[in-house]
Structure 1
């Protein structure tokens, strides 16, 4: 045995891929639109991280002896999809359509694509990943500090309470002010994981 030291770093879902598009098209330049809808009832919490701050997180984590042979979740805030929509509506003054998609419909789409065994470099493979993220974060609730703690993770909130992270609301306002930037520019024409699935749309009162 080589006893090779390690540190595993996981991050929250990026701010930059979690904004739905506005009816006006005002933030289309920056919104990736990875999903056209809300998973389940939209009330499942998930951790969020600003992509621009991941490097700073990693620099502190790997230099910290407390993280030796440990797993660490680096995240800024925790939101639900409904809260993301609420925030964007409040800051933009626009009303967003909310298309709720059942867990069963998302799982069926995952199974359908997996059955085709898409090549890793295909659009179908990326679409599969979109649906899997949607299910994991929006239905199962895998991406939370509580679940990370259950798995034995440390979190950056407990390790570095002094870390000056950017609030999600601040990022949203930057995008509305025209200061955002699209990630994965080469995938800008990829269709979003769609809410228009067979038996997918449901309404939660």
Structure 2
């Protein structure tokens, strides 16, 4: 039997309508529906940044707890999923900055692993040593990694990245260019040292 709301199946109720209903009524069931729809996606995003299932699970709970208190800041006409992913990204980045831990790492066991980065766009070539690339990525700052991941792994637009990271589009382009150049330079240094030491 399909669960219904006001005569409509729940899947016909939009995210934005659920937000409105939650704010107007304070009824937790509307928030629970949003949680059911997005908990796994938020967890996967946290996991792609931390490579630690336990930490990702904690972060997921933190994000949704934060959401309860931030829901009244959701702007009418905005897309809930974009807003939620922005909250998720910012929460993870804030945690990294406050703890001064480099928790953004490369996942080796998922579709978001470095093997799926668009290497042709990053390096201008297709043949790249994945092990050296991992080492090079580990030497980047968390913010630099996050930008590269969003652009070349998640295939996000400049506009999306700007909205998520609270930067202007021109600043995103500049930082992406610098991050790509730094990654190339570090990659070449590691590759050179490896060949030199053989």
For the aligned pair, the TM-score class normalised by the smaller chain equals: under 0.3
Specify which structure has the higher proportion of strand.
1
| TM-score when normalising by structure 1 | 0.24
Point out the structure with max Rg over C-alpha. 2
Q: Which has the higher contact order (CA 8 A, sep 6+)?
A: 1
| TM-score when normalising by structure 2 | 0.24
